[in-house]
Every structure is written in C-alpha cells, then in structure tokens.
Amino acid sequence: MERFAVIMAGGSGTRLWPISRETRPKQFVNVDNGSCMLVKTVERLLQTVPADHCFIVTDKRLKNITRNTVKNLIPGENIILEPFKKNTAACIEFATMTLKKRFGEGLICFVPADGYVNDREKYKEALERAYDAAEKTKALVIVGITPSYPATGYGYIQVDSEKGDDERILIVQKFIEKPDIDNARKFFESGEFLWNGGILVGSMDAIMNSVKKYLPEHDENISHAVKHSKLPTGNRYLNDAYNKIQNISFDNGVLEKTDCIYVIKGEFDWDDIGSIDSLAKTGKADADGNMVSGRHLGMDTSNSIIFSEDALVTTIGIDNLIVVSTKDAIIVCPRDRAQEVKGLVELLKEKGYQDLL
C-alpha cells in the first residue's frame, strides 16, 4: 500500500502565550534559534514519505502562514483546510476522506505538529514499523513513547503483558488521562506504560470504518461534505458538517472504545511542547542551567528560561523563573506554574485584551 503522512497543525498553543498567538500558534514559532516546529515535523516525515504524500491539515485562518512556512517542502495543494477547529476526530476523518477521494487507498500516519524529537533515525524506524504493523494487522496502530521521566502533562498507554503475534507489536490494554505525580511515578517505574504522543497509523478504510462505528455523525456529515464538493476545503457543506458534529478528540471518540488497538514502542526522545517550561527540552542549557533564546545578559541567574524576540533581557538574582519578552507583551512566572498560562489567557480575554491573543 502507498504510504501517506498527515500533520495536524490547527492547534492554538495557548499555554505558550505570549510566544504563541491565535494568528501565529506555537507550531510556527522558532523556539530554539532554528526552524519552527512545523518545519521540523515535515522534515522528519520526509524521511519516510515523498513530498507529494506529505499533507498538513489546519484551519482556514492559518492558510497563508502554513503555505508560506512549508512552501519549499511540500506542494501547496497538500494543505487541507478545515473551516474551523473541531478537535482531532473531525480533523482525522476529514483528512482521511480527502485522501481517500484523491488516491483511493493507502496507509496514513497522523502526527501532531508540536512534538519535539531529537533522534530522527529512531523516529523514522518507529514510523516504518507502525506502517508495517497497520498493513499486517489491518487495524489501528499507535506509536507509544518510552517515558524518560514521570510526566504529569501527558496521557499514558498501558500495554498488555502478552504480546501479539509479532513481539514488536504490542496490544493496548487501556488509555489513561494525565495522572497525578504519584501515579506518574508508578507508571514510570512499572515499565508497562508508554506516553501517548498522538501518533496514529492505519489504512484509510480502517480509520473511516472506526469513525463510522463509534462516531456515526462524523462519518455521515463529513462524507456528505466531501462527496458533494469538488474542493472540500472551505465550502458550505463542510461548514454545515462541522457545525453539526460533536467536538471530541479521536482518542476519546474512537480509540478508547475500539476493541483491539496495537502499539509500536518508540525509543526516541520525545516531548510535547505544551508549555513555556517545556521549551527547556528543545535546546542545551548554559553553564548556569539557563535555556536562552534571543538576547540576554544576566548576573546570578540560574535554571531559568529566557526568551526574547528583540529586546535585550537583563536579569539579576533569579532562579527557576520564566521570562518571555515579545514586541507587545512580557510574562514572568515560576517555572513550576507554567501550565497556568492557559488560565492567564482566559483572564486576558475577560479583560478585553483580544488584540494580544
């Protein structure tokens, strides 16, 4: 079967405010003095599939920035546009049906745009094994990542102690939402749990049949839109479909209900850049433990994350802080409260600072 890859790039990244904005979400931001996360994700996938088989699905308000960001990597027609965000079940179903209409059949690997991976070769190996497993089992396959620490910000996958027919293909026992620190430590120490990195592989038919079984409204409405439109990327049929369907993730709507799902263990280092604190994992710290992007001059400054788009940030006597300076907003907070930035964004909305979101 032909192999395709689809990057899900419609997220807003509110926990990375003010670096990430509604018009320039985190996947488009250069966070480590290099390429943005979307470009890095495309480049990783091009090790596995040709450029004309690599797609991006995002919402239509991000059309121009997406096209400009990847114009030298994949064809412009490979950007699939949703009318607006409606979670990953809609995103995956719409992209699958679009590729089904265009190519007829094939295997698709869905990956989020904001994952951080530092070992491309092991990443490539894991995806190739997942494609092979999906073709062999004719089922849905996910790539679970071996945890490197007891994380509380990620979902976990418990794998069955009994392997499938192929010892490299494990069976999912259950999915677990983000745990507290005590359970995260238990999961980490047990060796029976993997991080859920949001990487899914399956044939077009396997994905569509699963959605039809567990989310029939998604199947009915999105298939109607794709069937009746020559350009199913921004038309009234698709708008109507998205307005009618439930806002639900593919994990909650399909995977958690599916009888048998397989998992391939990914042995590469991985992190979801889901907060400003997680930016520390994307680069090397200096001698004082600081992760710095942009201009900074400090005295007695340690274990901090300092990001500046333009201005020189100067610090004295700080430890374990986040300092972010953009052209129109600054945030300073303890690193262990980085997850609360999402609440700060809600407060900004309440107070009428829409121009800064």
Q: What is the pLDDT of residues 82-96, one digit of tens each?
A: 999 999 999 999 999
**Tens digits of residue pLDDT in 188-207:** 888 889 999 899 999 999 99
- Mean pLDDT score of the chain, rounded to an integer? 90
Q: Are residues 289 and 267 part of one domain?
A: no
How many Å separate Cα 332 from the centre of its chain? Answer: 26
Task: Tell me which of 75-89, 172-186, 313-327 is least confident.
Answer: 172-186
Report helix, strand or coil for 279: helix
Q: Are residues 295 and 174 part of one domain?
A: no
How many Å separate Cα 17 from the centre of its chain? Answer: 17
Of 29 and 166, the structure prediction assigns the larger pLDDT to 29
- What is the domain extent for residue 341? 277-356
Structure token digits, residue 200: 């899914």
Q: Are residues 288 and 231 part of one domain?
A: no
Q: Are residues 284 and 268 part of one domain?
A: no
Q: Are residues 289 and 342 part of one domain?
A: yes
| Amino acid sitting at position 289 | G
Q: Are residues 166 and 289 part of one domain?
A: no
| Amino acid sitting at position 171 | I
Q: Are residues 246 and 232 part of one domain?
A: yes
Could you give the percent of the chain with pLDDT greater than 70?
96
Angle at 13 between CA 10 and CA 17, to 5 degrees: 145
Q: Are residues 319 and 268 part of one domain?
A: no
Would you place residue 232 in the very low, low, confident or very high pLDDT band (cuts 50, 70, 90)? very low
Q: Are residues 158 and 42 part of one domain?
A: yes
Would you place residue 274 in the very low, low, confident or very high pLDDT band (cuts 50, 70, 90)? confident
CA distances (Å), origin 330, targets 13, 82, 185, 317, 342: 17, 32, 34, 19, 15
Q: Does pLDDT of 31 surpass 70?
A: no
Q: Are residues 187 and 51 part of one domain?
A: yes
Q: Are residues 314 and 261 part of one domain?
A: no
Task: For the beta carbon of residue 141, count every other beta carbon within 10 angstroms.
Answer: 27
Q: What is the pLDDT of residue 14?
A: 79
**Tens digits of residue pLDDT in 129-159:** 999 999 999 999 999 998 888 888 788 999 8
Domain boundary among 213, 242, 272: 272
Q: What is the pLDDT of residue 345?
A: 92
Q: Are residues 251 and 281 part of one domain?
A: no
Domain boundary among 272, 301, 329: 272
CATH number at residue 190: 3.90.550.10
Domains held by the chain: number: 2
Torsion angle of alpha carbons 93, 99, 104, 108, nearest 10°? -70
Backbone angles phi, psi at 347, to 5 degrees: -65, -40
Q: Does pLDDT of 167 surpass 60?
A: no
Domain boundary among 272, 287, 321: 272
